[in-house]
Amino acid sequence: LVSRKKQSNDTVVDVKGVKVGGGTPVLVGGPCSVESYEQVKEVANNHNAKGLKLLRGGAFKPRTSPYDFQGLGLKGLEILKQVAAENDLAVISEIVSPADVELATKYIDVIQIGARNMQNFELLKAVGSVNHPVLLKRGMSATIEEFIFAAEYIVSKGNTNVILCERGIRTYEKATRNTLDISAVPILKQETHLPVLVDVTHSTGRKDLILPTAKAALAIGADGVMVEVHPDPATALSDANQQLDIPQFNDFLEKLDQSGLFK
């Protein structure tokens, strides 16, 4: 169903009026984790000032260590909902349990499936059974074929509102957190009709690579990029060293605008 052979025209996913995959690239920005109303509000205010509409933030965090901050859970979704309503933004957040999917549709605009859950088939079926847009991230050790099959799980249940997200894969290379598989973008665009985003933050884990990788993503045909931004990254409860602060984020936006690729 997700194959280009089945559908030649691009799927455009409507996220509260923002068209993802419609030819105009989108920018998704926000903190790694939702930590407080004030924290999300600060990012949202900046989004408003910069004309951005898509805000991300994790409420259910799939952390490597059980002793690390696990997210605010439902409280986090409530914060996102409130901030979205006050600022006319659309919010994206990860859901990790099939039992939370139905509830999540009442709070957020896009359900994210994280890399660690790309092959959680019960979760894929659960998000396939609602009508909400889904942002599906590539598993860190998933082949492109497995990634496409994961999308197929969702669409085969009836939900065609799927956005793919390349977020880097595990390789032997240690200079970056993951290895951004940039060629996955045109391959996914050729083989499927779904929109493709690139998460430049988790793929690189390096602030100095956000701008060049975002440019590369847009130049190679991505429908948008995802970036982590936090009002005070040093105090962040997750991914403290890879998040941009707001001035750095705005500088990034300005340089991306100047590149002529983001229009």
Which residues make up the interface to Mn ion (CB under 5 A)?
A: 32, 239
Residue numbers of the site for ligand PEP (CB under 6 A)? Answer: 32, 58, 94, 114-116, 137, 167, 199, 202
Beta carbon nearer to Mn ion, 32 or 96: 32
Q: Is 55 helix (H, G, I), strand (E, B) or coil?
A: strand
Query: For Mn ion, which is the closer residue by CB, 32 or 253?
Result: 32
Min separation Cβ 258 and ligand PEP, Å? 27
When CB distances are held under 5 to 8 angstroms depending on the partner's kind, the choice from ligand PEP, Mn ion, none that residue 53 binds is none
Query: Quick count: other Cβ atoms within 10 Å of Cβ 201?
Result: 28
Q: What span, in angstroms and rounded, lies between the C-alpha atoms of 262 and 168?
A: 21
Measured from the CB of residue 32, what is the shortest distance to ligand PEP in angstroms? 6
Cα-atom radius of gyration of the chain, to the nearest Å?
Answer: 17
The answer to whether the Cα torsion of 241, 247, 250, 251 is positive or negative is negative
Closest separation in Å from C-beta 159 to ligand PEP: 19
Three-state SS for 244? strand
Cα 80 from chain centroid?
15
Which listed option, Mn ion, ligand PEP, none, makes contact with residue 195 (CB within 5 to 8 Å by class)? Answer: none
Task: Quote the least distance from Cβ 11 to ligand PEP, whole Å.
Answer: 21
Tokens representing 6 are 């089945």
Q: Least distance in Å: CB of 251 to ligand PEP?
A: 22
The residue type of 204 is T
Q: Give CA angle at 230 (77, 195), nearest 5°.
A: 65
Cβ proximity to ligand PEP, 150 vs 259, nearer residue: 150
| Look-up of token digits 């940039």 | 182
Looking at beta carbons only, is 177 or 215 nearer to Mn ion?
177
Q: Please say whether the beta carbons of 27 and 63 come within 8 A.
A: no
Binder of residue 167, out of Mn ion, ligand PEP, none (CB less than 5 to 8 A by kind): ligand PEP
User: 71 vs 195, which CB is nearer to Mn ion?
Assistant: 71
CB of residue 33 vs Mn ion: minimum separation in angstroms?
7
**Residue with CB nearest ligand PEP?**
114
Identify which of residues 58 and 224 has a Cβ nearer to ligand PEP in the complex.
58
CA distance linking residue 151 with residue 165, whole number of Å = 11
Please tell me whether residue 198 adopts helix, strand or coil conformation. Answer: strand
The residue number with the shortest CB distance to Mn ion is 32
